[in-house]
Amino acid sequence: MNTIAELFADLNGGLAYLKTEHAGLEANLIYVKSAPHIDGVPGPDVHCLNEAGADFALLTLEGRAYFKVLESPSWHFPVGSDEYPIEKWYIASRHLEHGTIWAGGIHTGIDYNVEVLPRGDVDRGQPVSAITDGMIYATGYSQTCLASIVIKVMHDEKPLWVRYWHLADDDLFKSWRPGLPVGAGQELGHLGDYKGGDHLHFDMCEEAFHPCVWWTSMSGATSGEKLARWVDPVSVLKAHLDSDTVDASLRIG
């Protein structure tokens, strides 16, 4: 048996994950960072959806062999393909934009569309990708808004829940379940046949939420308190990716 400090002494903070080939455990993403000292030795702060997996990794010497450190996770745009690279996409609706078409009159996140004339449902079937290494937090489906995937990632050393909405209810979507790891650029699903016009609704929240719920359904005393939890995806993308490309998508929109 090893102490927490001993087990993670060589990690020096960062992201770590349990490899999938371990027969007794599902794959789990674990975030490890410096935490208050344990017996005079810096110990980690671990965030993991599967506590059994975390306990195994923390308390047994065997667990060390199933970790890999990801020093600097890569980042990827949520859309873009060989057919339509990211330069062909524009941001049609912006974070906290006002309009009667949205519940509560305010839009969370951004909407991505393909910039190909005539603008329309050319987006249908296009892939969407994980923006960085993370974990499937939840999936959901509704006839009104189609399939939705929420992944949990880290940004600025804080957890962030990222939603991909209006996806097709296809085999790829159905293959995901909570707790599975995803890597930057990994294909998560495809844009579906959405009655409001095919596009990716892409938003981010500082707390976990149901994949098919709108911000008005969240708990909170005021609309301002609810909206304050939602993060502008533009600022996050520009922090990790080419800002000129993000700005170009905004200008086209």
Check pLDDT > 90 for residue 9: no
- Does 44 or 205 have the greater pLDDT score? 205
Q: Helix (H, G, I), strand (E, B), or coil: what is residue 215?
A: helix
Sign of CA dihedral 158, 178, 63, 55: positive
Across 156-182, average pLDDT: 93
d(C-alpha 148, C-alpha 192), whole Å: 10
Check pLDDT > 90 for residue 8: no
Average pLDDT over the chain reads 79
Whole-number pLDDT of residue 96: 95
Across 229-253, average pLDDT: 95
d(C-alpha 190, C-alpha 221), whole Å: 36
Residue 78, preceding peptide bond in cis (omega within 30° of 0): no
Q: For residue 167, what pLDDT band results from cuts at 50, 70 and 90?
A: very high
Q: Which amino acid is at 113?
A: N
d(C-alpha 120, C-alpha 135), whole Å: 32
Of the chain, the end-to-end C-alpha distance in Å amounts to 57
Whole-number pLDDT of residue 203: 98
List pLDDT tens digits, range 65-91. 555 544 567 899 999 999 999 999 999
Check pLDDT > 80 for residue 5: no
Whole-number pLDDT of residue 226: 92
Domains and their CATH numbers in the chain: 4-70 (no CATH), 86-252 (2.70.70.10)
Among the listed ranges 66-75, 106-115, 170-179, which one has the minimum average pLDDT value?
66-75
Share of the chain above pLDDT 90, in %: 53
d(C-alpha 197, C-alpha 76), whole Å: 24
Check pLDDT > 70 for residue 57: no
Check pLDDT > 50 for residue 10: no
d(C-alpha 22, C-alpha 53), whole Å: 11
List pLDDT tens digits, range 209-219. 999 999 988 88
Radius of gyration from C-alpha coordinates of the chain? 19
d(C-alpha 50, C-alpha 88), whole Å: 39
Sign of CA dihedral 236, 183, 122, 195: negative
Check pLDDT > 80 for residue 252: yes
Whole-number pLDDT of residue 211: 94
Across 172-193, average pLDDT: 92
